[in-house]
Amino acid sequence: MIEHKRIRCGGLRSKVMSAEQAASFITSGSTVGMSGFTGSGYPKAVPLALAEHIEKEHAVGRPFRVRVWTGASTGPELDGALAKADGIEFRLPYNSDPVVREKINSGAMEYFDMHLSQVAPMAWQGFLGPLDTAVIEVTGIRPDGALIPSSSVGNNKTWLDQARHVILEVNSWQNAALEGMHDIYYGTALPPNRVPIPLVRPDDRIGDPSFRCDSDKIVAIVETYAPDRNLPFAPSDGTARAIAGHLLEFFHHEVAKGRLPASLLPLQSGVGNIANAVLTGLLGSSFENMTAYTEVIQDGMLDLLTAGKLRMASATAFSLSPEAAAKLNSEMTSFSDKMILRPQEISNHPELVRRLGCIAMNGLIEADIYGSVNSTHIMGSRIQNGIGGSGDFARNASISIFMTPSTAKGGKISAIVPQASHVDHITQDVQVLVTEQGLADLRGLSPKQRAVTIIENCAHPDYRPALSDYFRRARDHSYGQQSPSLPGEALSWHQRFIDSGSMLS
Amino acid sequence: MIEHKRIRCGGLRSKVMSAEQAASFITSGSTVGMSGFTGSGYPKAVPLALAEHIEKEHAVGRPFRVRVWTGASTGPELDGALAKADGIEFRLPYNSDPVVREKINSGAMEYFDMHLSQVAPMAWQGFLGPLDTAVIEVTGIRPDGALIPSSSVGNNKTWLDQARHVILEVNSWQNAALEGMHDIYYGTALPPNRVPIPLVRPDDRIGDPSFRCDSDKIVAIVETYAPDRNLPFAPSDGTARAIAGHLLEFFHHEVAKGRLPASLLPLQSGVGNIANAVLTGLLGSSFENMTAYTEVIQDGMLDLLTAGKLRMASATAFSLSPEAAAKLNSEMTSFSDKMILRPQEISNHPELVRRLGCIAMNGLIEADIYGSVNSTHIMGSRIQNGIGGSGDFARNASISIFMTPSTAKGGKISAIVPQASHVDHITQDVQVLVTEQGLADLRGLSPKQRAVTIIENCAHPDYRPALSDYFRRARDHSYGQQSPSLPGEALSWHQRFIDSGSMLS
C-alpha cells in the first residue's frame, strides 16, 4: 500500500491521508453522496471514521448529523455505523441495513424511498438540494486521473460530477481486472437537451470504462484493503423451488405460444432465495443463449454465465455470496467480456427496459386480490427495504412478474390480502403473480377476473376460503362493481395481525 | 356523397355499402377494434347499426355480445348505443360513457383499464387475443389506397394492421385539410427488435401522413357526414382559477430557481374545467414559445396556439367544445404547421415523455396524506373513467403534478383522505399536489414530511383537523413510522360516506 500502486496518477498521491483526516472534511448538516449498491463498492473506512467522530461530538453534547445519498443499500461499515451513531438525518434512495431500518421505523430518521432510475436525474434537476461531498470507492486511479470503478457503479458518476468536493477510497481488495468491465455513459442531459440512449442490446457499450473527475475537487484519498459485504447465501427450499417450477413452465408455455423468443428476453431478477431458485431452474432448463439486463449480478447469474446458458449480463453491481465473490475474484478475466456494469440510471432506465422488453421478476410483501402489490411497507407503515428498481422494471417490462411464498411468519401472514395496505405496483403493472401454490396469468383480465384467478391459483389454502368469502360479500355489497371492496373491512386482516399476531381469525 | 369524392382510390369504391350491410360482418363473440379517442374520430354509423342488429337478436332470444377495443373514450353512437343494447361483453382500454360506466359498476360488463401507451404493444404481443374486425373512421382514402386519418389517431394503426378484416367509415364532416397533419410512425417492433424512437422535440415528424392498409382486408366502406361528439365547455369557476393561480406561481418560481427553462418544458394536460383554467392562466402569463406533448388538444391549447404563446402541440386527438371545433374547422389550414396527431403509443410513450421531460398535469379523485393518488375508483370500487395516459406521463415527467378541488359533492367528500381507497399513482410519482387551498411541493420529502405538507397546504379547512388528528394518532400508535397508519381506521372515511352520504362525522 505504501507504494500507492493503485494510484497511477502521480499528482494525486499527495492527497493520500488517513480515513480520520478525510472524514474531517465532512461537516454536520452537510449532504454526502456515497458509493455503494447492495453491499458492493461502498466506502469502508471514511464512513466508519465519520461515525466515530460523530459519536465523540455527541458525547460532548454537540449535534452532528448528515444527509446520506447512495446507489442503493450498502454495508454495516456505512449505514450501520452511521445509524448506530445516530448520525443520519435523512436517507435516500434505498436501504436494507437493520439499524437504519429500525431508526426509520421508530421515527428517528427520515427516509425518501425512490425509483432507482430517477435518483440521478432528480439530483441534476436540483430537487434534492446541493451535494457537499462525494465519498466514492474505486478500484484504482489511472495515470490520466480517470477513476476505475469498483464492484458497483450506482450513482457514482452523478455524485462525482455534482459534489463540491470528493473523497476517494482506493480499495486494493477489488480485483484490478475490473478495469474495462464498466460502461459509464456520459450522454445524459436535462430536458430539453435529452437524446435517445443508443443502446439496443444488453451487450452494447455506449460509454467510457472509467469515471471522469475534476482532480481539483479531490480533497482526500484513502487507501483500503477491505472486502465487500457478501452475505452468505440461503439455499433454496421447497417453496422457492415450487415457485421456480411454475415460472419455468410458464416460460416454456409462452415460447410455445410464440409470445417469447426461444432464448427468452433480457432477464431482470431481484435477489434472494426465490430469485436464485428461478435462476437455478434456468440452469437446468433447455433455454440457451439468454441475456440479463438487470440491477445486480447475483450467484445464480454467475452460475448461468459459467455454464454458458447466459450469454452476458448487464447490471449496475455485483451482489454475491462469499463463495461466489471468491470465485469471481479468482476468475475475473474469464468473465470480463460477459459482464458490463453501468450507472443505475442506465441499468434501470425506463427507455431501455421498454426497448429491450425485459422479463421483470421481483419479490413482494403482499398482493391484494386485484393484484396491487405492496413491496415496501409491512402492515402498511413499517418500511422493509424500499421500492428499489422494481418500479423501473415492472412498468416497462414485456412481462412483469411478481413472486412470493403465499404466507409468511409461519402462516400467520397471508401474502394475498383483501386490499394491499400500501401500494407500490398498481394492477396494470402486475401481469403475472406466482406463489408456491401456482401462477396467475393476469394479462388481459378485468379486476374481477383477476381476483378469481389470484385467489384460486396463488392464495394459501388456509386463507383461500376467507378471501373467497370477502370477494363474494364485496360483490354483494360493494359501492361499485369494477373492483368490489368493503372499505370498513378491507384492511382488517392487517389490524388483526397488529392486534393479535396473526391474520387468521 | 354519391360521387365518393373522399374515396380517391377507384378500386375501393365497389366496397361502399350501407352501415347495416357493413355491420353484418361483425359476429357475436368477436373482438372489434374501433377508432376513437375522447369523442373524436370514432365510427358513427356502423356501431349504431350493430347495436340495432344486436337489439333485434336479443329480442328473439339470441345472445349477441362483442369485445370492444378503442383508443380511449368514444361517443354515444358507439359506446352508448352498444352498451344500451347490452352488446359489450368486455371493454378496453378507457371509457367515459355514462351507460358503459353504469354497466361496469353494476357488474354487467368486464372492463380492462389500461395504460394507454401499452395497448398497442400488448395487442402485438398477443396478450389481448386475436382481433377480428377493425372499424375505423377516416377523413378520406388516397389514390394509392392509403388512409387519411381523422380527428384522432389512437390505436388505429395497430387495429388496421392486426384485424382480420377492416370496415372503414369515410366521414366527410371531417375537414379535408386534416390531410398532412398526422405523423404515423411505423418503426415500432416487438423486442428483441426495438430501436430508439427518433423523436427529440415535440415538433419532430418521424412517420407517414397516412395509414397503410392492405386493401384486400377491407370488406366494407361506409360514407358518413356526422360530427364528432363535442361536449360543451364548462367555464372555469373560482376553484379552478385558484388552482391555476397556485400552479402559475409555482412555474414562475421554478423558472426563477433555474429548474425550468423560461419557455417551460412540453406540457401534458388532461381535459376539463381545471386543466382549461391552467391553460387560460398560461394565456395571460409571460411564458412564451411553449410546446405541448400531450394526449389531446383541448380548447385552452387552441387558444394558446392562436395567440402564438404555444409554438406547437403534439397529441393523438382533438377534444374540443362545439365552438372550438367550429373555429378549428374553419381555420384548419392556419393550424396545420402547429399541430401533429400521432398514434397513442407514441403520444404517450414513456421513452419520449422522459426524454422530452414533460410537465404532467392530471386530475384525480382523491389523494391520501402521503400523496398516493386514486384517479379511477370512487370509494375504492366504482370506476369513474380509467387511468388513461396519466400513468404514462406521471411516472416519466420531469415534474408530475396532480390537481383537484379539495372537496367534492358539496363538501361531503374530501379529496384528501387518510388512505387512498385505490391507488393508481404511487407516492414516488406524485411530486406536486394542488388544490384551491394551495400547492404542496413534495419533491425530496419523506412520507411524514409529505403528510404535513399536504394536510397544511391542500386539505380543505373542514377536513384539516380530522386529518391532522388521524396523522397524530397514527404517529403515536402505528406499527411502523415510515408511513404511519391505522389500518382499522384508514378507510373509515369511505365507509362513512357509503353509509351516510358524507365523509364528515
Q: Which amino acid is at A167?
A: I
> Three-state DSSP class for B149?
strand
Cell of B141: 382514402
Measured in angstroms, the CA of A372 and the nearest CA of chain B are apart by 8
Does residue B326 belong to the interface with chain A, where contact is any CB pair within 8 Å?
Answer: no
In the predicted model, is pLDDT for residue A184 greater than 60?
yes
Reported as a single tens digit per residue, the pLDDT across B25-81 is 999 999 999 999 999 999 999 999 999 999 999 999 999 999 999 999 999 999 999
Q: Where are the alpha helices (DSSP H) in A379-479?
A: 390-396, 447-457, 464-477
Q: What percent of chain A has pLDDT over 70?
A: 100
Does residue B381 belong to the interface with chain A, where contact is any CB pair within 8 Å?
Answer: yes
Q: Collect all residues of chain A within an 8 Å Cβ-Cβ radius of residue B265.
A: 191-192
In the predicted model, is pLDDT for residue B438 greater than 60?
yes
Name residue, grid cell 409491512. A378
Measured in angstroms, the CA of B339 and the nearest CA of chain A are apart by 19
Most A CBs within 10 A among B31, B69, B201, B481, hence the mutation to make, goes to B481
In 3D, which of A295, A276, A280, A251 has the Cα closest to residue A393? A295
Reported as a single tens digit per residue, the pLDDT across B313-344 is 999 999 999 999 999 999 999 999 999 999 99
Angstrom distance (rounded) from CA B486 to CA B480: 10
Q: What is the arithmetic mean of pLDDT over A420-449?
A: 98
B2 pLDDT band, cuts 50/70/90, is low
Tell me what pLDDT residue A2 has. Answer: 57
In 3D, which of A122, A116, A38 has the Cα closest to residue A391? A116
Name residue, grid cell 392509403. B146
In the predicted model, is pLDDT for residue A281 greater than 90?
yes
Does residue A125 belong to the interface with chain B, where contact is any CB pair within 8 Å?
Answer: yes
Angstrom distance (rounded) from CA A237 to CA A258: 32
Residue of chain B with shortest Cα separation from A353: B351
**Cis before A93 (ω within 30):** yes
User: In chain A, positions 90-119, which contact chain B (CB-CB < 8 Å)?
Assistant: 90, 104-107, 110-115, 118
Angstrom distance (rounded) from CA B489 to CA B395: 29
Q: Per residue in B338-365, is it b (16+ CB within 10 Å) or e — as a string?
A: bbbbbbbbbbbbbbbbbbbbbbbbbbbb
Q: What is the arithmetic mean of pLDDT over A175-179?
A: 96
A205 pLDDT band, cuts 50/70/90, is very high
Residue of chain A with shortest Cα separation from B427: A424
Cell of B177: 385539410
CB contact (8 A) between residue A475 and residue B107: yes
A295 assigned to active site? yes
Measured in angstroms, the CA of B60 and the nearest CA of chain A are apart by 29
Does residue A120 belong to the interface with chain B, where contact is any CB pair within 8 Å?
Answer: no
Closest CB to B110: pick one of A110, A448, A491.
Answer: A448
Tell me what pLDDT residue B233 has. Answer: 74
- Name the catalytic one among A223, A295, A345, A366: A295
Q: What is the arithmetic mean of pLDDT over B435-449?
A: 97
Give CA angle at B65 (B59, B70), nearest 5°.
Answer: 135
CB contact (8 A) between residue B195 and residue A355: yes
In the predicted model, is pLDDT for residue A1 greater than 70?
no
Contacts of B70 (CB under 8 A, 6+ apart): B33, B34, B35, B36, B37, B42, B78, B79, B92, B93, B94, B154, B155
Reported as a single tens digit per residue, the pLDDT across A369-388 is 999 999 999 999 999 999 99
In 3D, which of B114, B429, B352, B197 has the Cα closest to residue A392? B429
Cell of B180: 398532412
CB contact (8 A) between residue A355 and residue B196: yes
Reported as a single tens digit per residue, the pLDDT across A6-37 is 999 999 999 999 999 999 999 999 999 999 99
**Spatial contact of B261 and B251, defined as CB atoms under 8 Å apart:** no
Q: What is the dihedral of CA A48, A53, A54, A60, to 10 degrees?
A: 150
Most B CBs within 10 A among A365, A381, A452, A492, hence the mutation to make, goes to A381
Q: Collect all residues of chain B within an 8 Å Cβ-Cβ radius of residue A485.
A: 380-381, 421-422
CB contact (8 A) between residue B481 and residue A105: yes
Q: Collect all residues of chain B within an 8 Å Cβ-Cβ radius of residue A190.
A: 357, 398
Reported as a single tens digit per residue, the pLDDT across B345-393 is 999 999 999 999 999 999 999 999 999 999 999 999 999 999 999 999 9
Tell me what pLDDT residue B1 has. Answer: 47
Tell me what pLDDT residue B60 has. Answer: 98
Reported as a single tens digit per residue, the pLDDT across A291-324 is 999 999 999 999 999 999 999 999 999 999 999 9
Name residue, grid cell 483526516. A21
Tell me what pLDDT residue A127 has. Answer: 87
Q: Per residue in A51-78, is it b (16+ CB within 10 Å) or e — as a string?
A: bbbbeebeeeeeebbbbbbbbbbbbbbb
Check: pTM over 0.95? Answer yes or no. yes
Q: Collect all residues of chain A within an 8 Å Cβ-Cβ radius of residue B190.
A: 357, 398
Q: Collect all residues of chain A within an 8 Å Cβ-Cβ radius of residue B420.
A: 423
The ipTM of this complex is 0.97
Q: Which amino acid is at A261?
A: P
**Spatial contact of A167 and A133, defined as CB atoms under 8 Å apart:** yes
Q: Return the bridge partners of B176, or none.
A: none
Most B CBs within 10 A among A445, A482, A499, hence the mutation to make, goes to A482
CB contact (8 A) between residue B114 and residue A428: yes
CB contact (8 A) between residue A122 and residue B443: yes
Q: In Å, how far are A148, A379, A381, A408, B159 from A496, measured between CA atoms? A: 52, 10, 15, 15, 49
Measured in angstroms, the CA of B90 and the nearest CA of chain A are apart by 8
Tell me what pLDDT residue B434 has. Answer: 98
Closest CB to A107: pick one of B357, B395, B481.
Answer: B481
Contacts of A122 (CB under 8 A, 6+ apart): A114, A128, B443, B444
> What mean pLDDT is reported for chain B?
96
Reported as a single tens digit per residue, the pLDDT across B113-163 is 999 999 999 999 998 999 999 999 999 999 999 999 999 999 999 999 999
Give CA angle at B400 (B398, B402), nearest 5°.
Answer: 165
Directed axis angle between helix A299-306 and helix A322-330, to 10°?
A: 40
